[in-house]
Amino acid sequence: MKLAYQDKKTPVHRLHPVCKIIWVLAVIAGSILINDPILLVLLFISTIPFVIIGKIVKEWGSFVKLTLWLSIFIAIINMLASQHGSHILYSSPMLPILGTINITLESIIFSIGMSIRLLATISAFAILTLTINPDDLLQTILLLKIPYRTVLTTSIAIRFIPCLFTDLDTLQSSLQTRGYQMAEGGFLTRIKRRAIIIPSLLSNSLERSIQSAEAMESRGFGSKGGKTFYNVIQTTRTDYFFIALSLSLFALFAIMWILRIGTYEYYPNITPIAITISYVSVALFLVLSAASPAIFSPLKKVIDLD
């Protein structure tokens, strides 16, 4: 399974990269400004339709699985470290240095809330990574008037990252098959022993970049005259609608934060959750925004022939 972009030709893939970037920023803003666990759950759920419509369930699942493990780790640390909360579920005997450790209901609920926050953010990022064509992203960045050479160089450098990992793996295997003990000794010794790979890794990368540069020059890179683009991503009505929705989402979260609607007190006692009209409206809004790529007729990336 590839955890990189694959063109699956879905409405999510066809959305303008700018739309997806603004949407991700809105989800991140939401997960920062809101700490009500129910709203955070809604926020996370709102990303799932994108996953289904974008046909990236398996790939997205791998991101989520990793986040869940990370969440469990964070939750355990939080439960052990945070001694706040009034409902003590377990109290450890006196431990040297640490003293008594109390595990409270509030710290458990807080950990769950934080995990959902992390899940929502990672989910949005995963959708972005899995559905944006790197070449489209390059063109989007060009809209910010960053020089083409800089953007292309960055894009190629990013494309080479998987090659770098493959190289690293092969070089490590080569060292192992020659009896080199990389995992021997303390932390610093291990780092030092692994450092032997760096010159070879750099050398391989340098050779690769020279070959790329040769190929680019041979295909007219840097020629005088204006640079044209084969694919021009057109902005459609759906894109505008989606941007408007994402910006409204932004505004909604900001208003909720200012009015303290989405804030939730975990300590010293968890606040009882009451389903109010604000929840219902937020939920509706999120579901609408999540379903929007499918609601509208599928967009077609049209080659601009003008």
Partner 1 sequence: MIEFKDLTFKYADSSNTALSNISLSINDSEFILITGPSGCGKSTLCRCINGLVPSFYGGEICGSVEVQNIDALRTPTKDMAKTVGMVFQDPENQLIATDVEREIAFGLENLGLPKTIMVKRIEEVLDTVGIDHLRHRQLSTLSGGEKQKTAIASVLVLHPEILVLDEPTSELDPKGAEEVIQLVKRLNEELGLTVILVEHRIDRVLQSVDRLIVMDSSEITYDGKPRGWINLAENKLPLVGIPPITHLSVELKQKGIDTKIPLTIKEGRQIFSPILKDNKWKKPIQTHPHKSKNITSCIAKARKLWYKYPDGAVVLKDITIDIFKGEFIALIGRNASGKTTLAKLLNGLLKPSKGKVEINGIDTTRTKVENLAKCVGYVFQNPNVHLFADTVEEEITFMMNNLGFSSKMIEESLDKELKQFNLEYCRYAYPRSLSTGEKQRVALASVLAAKPQLLILDEPTRGLDYGLKKNLMNYLIEYRKNGGTVILISHDIELIAEFGERVVLMSEGKIVADGNKHQVLANSLHFSPQINRLIQPFTKYGISSDILTVEEIMQGFK
Instruction: Please report, as ranges, the residues that interact with partner 1 according to CB under 8 A.
Output: 1-2, 4-7, 133-135, 152, 156, 159, 163, 167, 170-171, 173-181, 196-197, 199-200, 203-204, 207-208, 211-223, 225-232, 303-306
Query: Rounded to the nearest whole angstrom, what is the least distance from the CB of residue 69 to partner 1 in the complex?
Result: 15
In the complex, the smallest distance separating the C-beta of residue 243 from partner 1, rounded to whole angstroms, is 25
Closest distance to partner 1 from the beta carbon of 198 (Å): 10
Q: Which is nearer to partner 1, 229 or 240 (CB)?
A: 229
**Rounded least distance, CB 76 to partner 1, Å:** 25
| CB of 135 or CB of 278, closer to partner 1 | 135
Q: Closest CB to partner 1 among 89 and 161?
A: 161
How far apart CA 121 and CA 128 sit, in angstroms, is 11
Q: Specify the residue, 84 or 227, whose C-beta has the smaller distance to partner 1.
A: 227
In angstroms, what is the minimal distance from the CB of 150 to partner 1? 15
Cα–Cα dist 244/187, whole Å? 51
Comparing CB distances to partner 1, the nearer of 83 and 209 is 209
Nearer to partner 1 (CB atom), residue 2 or residue 145: 2
User: Measured from the CB of residue 144, what is the shortest distance to partner 1 in angstroms?
Assistant: 19
Residue 129, both tokens: 């990574």
> Taking the complex as a whole, how short is the minimal distance between the CB of residue 13 and partner 1, in angstroms?
12
Rounded to the nearest whole angstrom, what is the least distance from the CB of residue 160 to partner 1 in the complex?
9
For partner 1, the closer of residues 6 and 278 by Cβ is: 6
Could you give the dihedral angle defined by the CA atoms of residues 270, 275, 278 and 280, in that order, rounded to the nearest 10 degrees? Answer: 140
What is the residue-wise DSSP string for the chain? ---S------HHHHS-HHHHHHHHHHHHHHHHH---HHHHHHHHHHHHHHHHHTT-HHHHHHHHHHHHHHHHHHHHHHHHH----S-EEEEPPPBTTTB--EEEHHHHHHHHHHHHHHHHHHHHHHHHHHHS-HHHHHHHHHTTT--HHHHHHHHHHHHTHHHHHHHHHHHHHHHHHTT--SS-SSHHHHHHHHTTHHHHHHHHHHHHHHHHHHHHHHTTTT-SS----S--PPP-HHHHHHHHHHHHHHHHHHHHHHTTSS----SSSPPPP---HHHHHHHHHHHHHHHHHHHSPPP-------
**Residue 157, CB half-sphere, CA atoms under 13 Å: how many?**
7
Minimum CB distance to partner 1 smaller for 265 or for 304: 304
